Amino acid sequence: MRLGRSRQSSNIEDRRRNGPRAGRAGIGLGTIVLALVALYFGVDPAVVLQMADQGASSPAPATQTTGAPTDAQGQFVSRVLGETEDTWRTIFNEQTNGRYRDATLVLYRDATPTACGTGQSAMGPFYCPADTRVYIDLAFFDQMASQMNAPGQFAQAYVIAHEIGHHVQHQLGTLERVNRQRAAASTSQANRLSVRLELQADCYAGVWAHHADAARQILEAGDIQAALDAASAVGDDTLQRRHQGQVVPDSFTHGSAQQRMQWFSRGLNSGQLQDCDTFSASP
């Protein structure tokens, strides 16, 4: 990625300097990867986080610094976040009747308090609509490269852009509407709604990339393939095949590898929010 022209966002809370690793030092990489099968990119973190709280030690009170981090990885994240802010403000101005309100991105290690319960790195990156924050343990990016065959900066940017896609859904009212529908639906129906919500966030990530590159030429050769590889790596079928040896489509909550790549590409090629209507289209 070319981020030399990208500003660093100040909407960063850095909690990585908290003392003991929040009582979760026993979580190993194997546990994290297994948890990703069910929880990665979860869109209703309140239920998941509250379940994770049961029987778990509470994290230490969060200490934090606010503003752009000074380390290289933190600066990269803050520049990507800045790109999402500048780009989504423009998109909202041009394609909606509303005004984009920035999200806050929280960097943490192992576990941290959130308005949705205790956030844990085993869940992967997630968005909490109750406090409009994206939570990321940056160790996840290492796992993407070493265990999910999804290395590279733009693969990491795709993860951030996907979570910001959920923030966009929250501002447009989609997240709350679908979560109400899920609460009244059967398990299989709720899973299908979750898939459509996740695919829309993938599409929104593509819309962001379309406009950010048009404005500031942030993409380099290979970046799009890196994002597609990341989308494929977190497809439900890919994860299920890797960890349980078989694929159960009725249990999908995020979409297949093909679906995730398809909807990211659709947003990337179009740049239009209206083309991300996964609820009307056949995903």
Note the pLDDT tens digit of each residue in 149-201.
Answer: 788 899 999 999 999 999 999 999 999 999 999 999 988 899 889 889 999 99
Comparing 231 with 76, the larger pLDDT belongs to: 76
Residue 64: pLDDT band (50, 70, 90) is low
The structure's pTM equals 0.81
Give me the pLDDT at residue 66, please: 73
Per-residue pLDDT averaged across 34-43, rounded?
40
Cα Rg of the chain (Å, integer): 17
Asked if residue 233 has pLDDT above 70, the reply is no
What's residue 180's pLDDT?
95
The predicted-structure confidence for 179-188, as pLDDT tens digits, reads as follows 999 999 988 8
Which pLDDT does position 166 carry in this prediction?
A: 97
- Give the C-alpha separation, 11 to 13, whole Å: 7
**What pLDDT sits at residue 129?**
96
The b-or-e profile of 92-124 (16+ CB within 10 A means b, else e) is: beeeeeeebebbbbbbbbbbbbbebbbbbbbbb
pLDDT surpasses 50 at 25: no
Binning pLDDT at 50, 70 and 90, where does residue 228 land? confident
pLDDT at 235: 60
pLDDT of 3 higher than 90: yes
- The per-residue pLDDT of the chain, averaged, comes to 81
Cα dihedral: 168, 174, 176, 181 (round 10):
-150
26 vs 282, more confident: 282
**Which comes out higher in pLDDT, residue 243 or 278?**
278
Position 30 scores a pLDDT of 34
What pLDDT does residue 51 have? 42
pLDDT of 68-122, one tens digit each?
A: 788 999 999 999 999 999 999 999 999 998 999 999 999 999 999 999 999 999 8
Strand order in the sheet with 104-107: 65-66, 12-14, 104-107, 133-136, 126-128
pLDDT of residue 52: 44
